[in-house]
Amino acid sequence: MPVGELFEDLRNAVVIGDVRKARRIAEQVVNKGLSVNKALEKLIEAMQIVDRKYERKEYFIMDVAAASSAMREAFKVLEPYLQVEPAGMKGKIVIGSLKGNTQGIGKDIVAAMLRAAGFQVINLGVNVDPKTFVEKAVEEDAQIIAVSVTLDETVHYLKDLVEILKEKGLRERFKVVIGGRAVSEKTCEEYGVDTYAKDAWDCVKKVKELLS
C-alpha cells in the first residue's frame, strides 16, 4: 500500500471510530519507519472532521466517543516516537482543559509534544477551574500555564484565570498560552492572555518564545 494511502486510512479509521484498525495502522507506521509526525497530523485532521460532523449533527456523542477512543489508541503507539526539535532550555508547564471542557485528547497531544521537546509538563487533566491552574503553577514552580478551550461557552473563565493571577501578584511570573477551537488571537487581546497556539507544533514554538 502506498504511504499516502496508509496515512489516509489512519485518518479514516479514527473518523469512523475503528479502534483496532487505527492502532494496527499506527503500528505499521512505526514498524515501517514512516513519519510519526505526519501520522499525528492525520489524527488531528481526523478529530477536526469529527468535530465538524458533530456540529452539523451528523455525529452524536457516541460517535465522537468512538473516534476519540480510536485516536487515543493510535496515539499511544505513536507517542514514544514523536520527533520534536529539542528546546535547549529548561522550562516547566502546567497544562489542562479549562473548566467545562471534558475533552482532553488535543490537550494530551500538546502535552506529549512539549515533553518530546524536553520540557517538564504537569498535565492537570480536564475540567480544571482557574484557581487550580494558578495553585498548581505555584506549587510546581512552573513558568507557563497552558490552557485548552474547545467549548465557546467556557471561554469567559479565562477572565477569572487572569484576574486571579493579578490579585495574587503573579501575572508577571506566569505566561499564559491558550489553544483549542474556541479561542484565537483575538481571545488573547480580549482577555489579556500572552499568546495563542493554533496546534501542538505551534504551542512548542510559542512556549520556546515565551521562555527565551
What's the pTM value of the predicted model, to 2 decimals?
Answer: 0.80
Is residue 140 a contact partner of residue 93, using CB atoms and an 8 Å limit? no
Residue 83, pLDDT above cutoff 90: no
Tell me: the pLDDT tens digits for 119-145?
A: 999 999 999 999 999 999 999 999 999
| Contact in structure between 37 and 81 (CB atoms under 8 Å) | no
What percent of the chain shows pLDDT beyond 70?
A: 97
What are the boundaries of each domain within the chain?
3-81, 92-211
For residue 87, is pLDDT > 70? no
Fold of domain 3-81: 1.10.1240
Tell me how far apart the terminal alpha carbons of the chain are, to the nearest angstrom: 44
Q: Residue 139's pLDDT is what?
A: 97
Q: Is the predicted pLDDT of residue 114 greater than 70, yes or no? A: yes
In this structure, which topology does domain 92-211 adopt according to CATH? Rossmann fold (3.40.50)
| Rounded Cα distance, 128 and 115, in Å | 20
At residue 109, the pLDDT reads 87
Q: b/e for 98-112, b at 16 or more Cβ within 10 A?
A: bbbbebbbbbbbbbb
pLDDT tens per residue, range 24-34? 999 999 999 99
Q: Which pLDDT band, with edges at 50, 70 and 90, does 205 fall under?
A: very high
Which pLDDT belongs to residue 1?
65
